């Protein structure tokens, strides 16, 4: 059984972006979206209006938190060979009941990709608005302009 990464959020978090489960590379480095072929940090650069993709991981996280954006995953533990979402077996969801206390200003949960979005109704039970987003995976670059537009809308009031 593999264990995911801890939530990156604080009392100022208004938007929480949930992936499905970290890649093998992310687990090894203990960093969200560590695989350079994933476009997550490029997309987040467009969201926050500055080039954070070229910064070190700690600086990226600091900027996201200052902008009210947190990171986590839907699945906290699972069995999986490799990094493909399709290989996830026996998923155990993270405990989302902690969000009310950990992130009292949270207003939106964004779901990065189809596997994360499959759990949308489970997350809505906690009373948060949800927004499925096109996957940040490098394999999902078709309609890149539309994907970027959808990601940039996450901070819209």
CATH architecture of 2-155: 3-Layer(aba) Sandwich (3.40)
List the one residue out of 96, 116, 94 whose CA is nearest residue 106. Answer: 96
Whether residue 63 is predicted with pLDDT greater than 90 in this model: the reply is yes
pLDDT at 142: 76
Token reading at 112: 């990065």
pLDDT band at 101 (very low <50, low <70, confident <90, very high): very high
- Taking the C-alpha atoms of residue 48 and residue 63, their distance in angstroms, rounded to an integer, is 8
90 is catalytic: no
CA distances from 112 to 43, 47, 147 (A): 11, 14, 11
**What pLDDT digit, counting tens, does each position of 120-133 carry?**
998 888 899 999 99
Instruction: Say which of 38, 87, 112, 143 is annotated catalytic.
Output: 38
* 82-88 average pLDDT score: 78
Whether residue 157 is predicted with pLDDT greater than 60 in this model: the reply is no
pTM score of the predicted model: 0.93
Q: How many other CB atoms are there within 10 angstroms of residue 73's CB atom? A: 22
- Taking the C-alpha atoms of residue 17 and residue 13, their distance in angstroms, rounded to an integer, is 10
Q: Tell me the residue length of the chain.
A: 157
């Amino acid at each position: 059984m593999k264990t995911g990464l801890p939530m990156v959020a604080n009392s100022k978090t208004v938007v929480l972006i949930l992936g499905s489960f970290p890649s093998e590379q992310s687990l090894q480095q203990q960093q969200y979206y560590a695989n350079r072929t994933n476009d997550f940090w490029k997309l987040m650069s467009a969201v926050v209006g500055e080039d954070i993709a070229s910064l070190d991981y700690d600086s990226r996280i600091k900027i996201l938190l200052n902008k009210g954006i947190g990171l986590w995953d839907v699945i906290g533990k699972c069995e999986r060979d490799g990094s493909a979402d399709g290989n996830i077996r026996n998923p155990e969801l993270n405990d989302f009941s902690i969000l009310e206390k950990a992130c009292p200003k949270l207003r939106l949960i964004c779901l990065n990709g189809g596997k994360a979005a499959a759990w949308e109704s489970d997350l809505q039970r906690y009373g948060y608005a949800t927004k499925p987003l096109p996957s940040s995976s490098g394999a999902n670059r078709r309609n890149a302009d539309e994907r970027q537009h959808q990601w940039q809308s996450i901070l819209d009031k």
